[in-house]
Amino acid sequence: MVDGGVAELELDEVSLTRAVPAEVWRLSAMRKLSLPKNQLTCVPAEIGQLTSLEMLNLNYNQLTSLPAEVGQLTALKELSLYGNQLTSVPAEIGQLASLTELNLGGGKQLTSVPAEVGQLTSLERLWLHDNRLTSVPAEIGQLASLRELWLNYNQLTSVPAEIGQLRSLRWLFLNDNRLTSVPADIGQLTSLEGLWLHANQLTSVPAEIGQLTSLEKLYLGDNRLTSVPAAIRELRAAGCHAELDNGVTVDE
């Protein structure tokens, strides 16, 4: 097992408890490490030795934190930590310049995301859903390659105006939060195909939403809306499925 030439190691649901065998961290040529559905409670600093690693799957464990050394995995393209109990993410995660997918969803404990996440300019998919986030750093607007952003099932009361800078974004999930408004800048997301805003506390929707000419799906149900801008009618005419609660009127 200590042969540095091992390229892939998968130990799915093998009842690893608390720790991974020390030999694993010496597999310096390993490109893929998959350890989901175990009972791991920590990741040691030695993980930073796996500098060839491109995919790391630690889904469904019992992790509450990550070591700063995770930032040394500069070849990493996919990092998945779904279904853990993370309460924080180290700022060093911003050093993962090759990362295209980051999954921090499903933990129900994460309350914030470091501003350094904005340095992940290769990122295409970011899952932060089903946590306890109350805000999102403005630096998220720097993720120029981002195509999917999952922020649903959190405790967000607002989203930064900088979200309008995500010109590559296709899907934006903001449902099941505590949003009372969305910034007019959302109208700059001209590549957006799906926008989920249902189950919030919205009392209005910006007219700029009509600028989303690529939009195919828009969900606005279960809010506090009594009316929506006339732009919604135009979106529907262009083929967008726009879902509203019964009784919500479309302005003339």
Q: For the chain, which residues make up each domain, given as ranges?
A: 8-250
Q: What is the pLDDT of residue 185?
A: 98
- Percent of the chain residues topping a pLDDT of 70: 95
Residue ranges of alpha helices (H) inside 29-163 are: none
Report which DSSP code applies to 5.
T
Phi, psi of 8 (to 5 degrees): -135, 145
Q: What Å distances lie between residue 78 and 21, 29, 55, 200, CA to CA?
A: 22, 16, 5, 31
DSSP class per residue in 160-172? -GGGGG-TT--EE
Q: What is the pLDDT of residue 2?
A: 39
Q: Does domain 8-250 have CATH number 3.80.10.10?
A: yes
Dump pLDDT digits (tens) for 208-248.
999 999 999 999 999 999 999 999 999 999 999 999 999 99
Report which DSSP code applies to 13.
T
Q: What tokens appear for 60 in the block?
A: 């469904």
Q: Go through the chain and tell me how many residues it has.
A: 252
User: Which residue type sits at 64?
Assistant: T
| Residue 227 to residue 58: CA distance in whole angstroms | 45
Dump pLDDT digits (tens) for 102-143.
999 999 999 999 999 999 999 999 999 999 999 999 999 999
Dump pLDDT digits (tens) for 157-188.
999 999 999 999 999 999 999 999 999 999 99
User: Which residue type sits at 14?
Assistant: V
* Whether pLDDT at 13 is above 60: no
* Whether pLDDT at 15 is above 80: no
Residue ranges of alpha helices (H) inside the chain are: 231-237
* Whether pLDDT at 3 is above 60: no
Q: How many CA atoms lie within 13 A of 105 on its CB side?
A: 15
Sign of CA dihedral 18, 10, 80, 49: positive
Dump pLDDT digits (tens) for 46-101.
999 999 999 999 999 999 999 999 999 999 999 999 999 999 999 999 999 999 99
Q: What Å distances lie between residue 51 and 10, 91, 120, 144, CA to CA?
A: 18, 18, 17, 25
* Whether pLDDT at 206 is above 80: yes
